[in-house]
Amino acid sequence: MSARFVHHRFAPHTHDELMIGLIRSGVKSFRLGRDRKFAAPGQLSVVNPGEMHTGEREHGPELTYIALYLPLATLSAIIPGHGGREREIQHPVITDSFVWHQLAWAHDALFKSDDTFAAEECLVLGITSLFKRYAARAPRMPTGTHPAAIRRALAYLEAEAANPATLECLANASGVGAFHLIRLFNCHLGTTPHAYLTQLRIERAKHLLKAGEPAAQVALNVGFADQAHLTKRFKALTGTTPGRYAAAHQ
pLDDT tens profile 109-150: 988 887 889 999 999 999 999 999 999 886 554 445 578 999
38: exposed, middle or buried (C-beta count within 10 Å: 0-12, 13-18, 19+)?
A: middle
CATH topology of domain 148-248: Arc Repressor Mutant, subunit A (1.10.10)
Name the 3-class secondary structure at 106.
helix
pTM metric for this prediction: 0.76
| Residue 244 scores a pLDDT above 70 | yes
Residues near 246 by beta carbon (within 8 Å), at least 6 away in sequence: 209, 210, 212, 215
| Residue 66 scores a pLDDT above 50 | yes
Distance of CA 123 to the CA centre of its chain: 19
| Residue 95 scores a pLDDT above 90 | yes
Q: Which contiguous run of DSSP H or E holds residue 155?
A: helix 148-160
Specify the pLDDT at position 13.
Answer: 85
Specify the pLDDT at position 181.
Answer: 92
Cα three-residue angle 74-211-155, rounded to 5 degrees: 75
Q: Which amino acid is at 10?
A: F
CATH of region 2-137, choose from 3.20.20.70, 3.40.718.10, 2.60.120.280, 3.40.50.1220: 2.60.120.280
pLDDT tens profile 152-178: 999 999 999 999 989 999 999 999 999
What CA–CA distance (Å, rounded) separates 65 from 19? 12
Phi then psi for residue 89, to 5 deg, are: -75, 130
Q: Where are the domains of the chain?
A: 2-137, 148-248
Name the 3-class secondary structure at 110.
helix
What CA–CA distance (Å, rounded) separates 51 from 190? 9
Percent above pLDDT 70 for the chain: 94
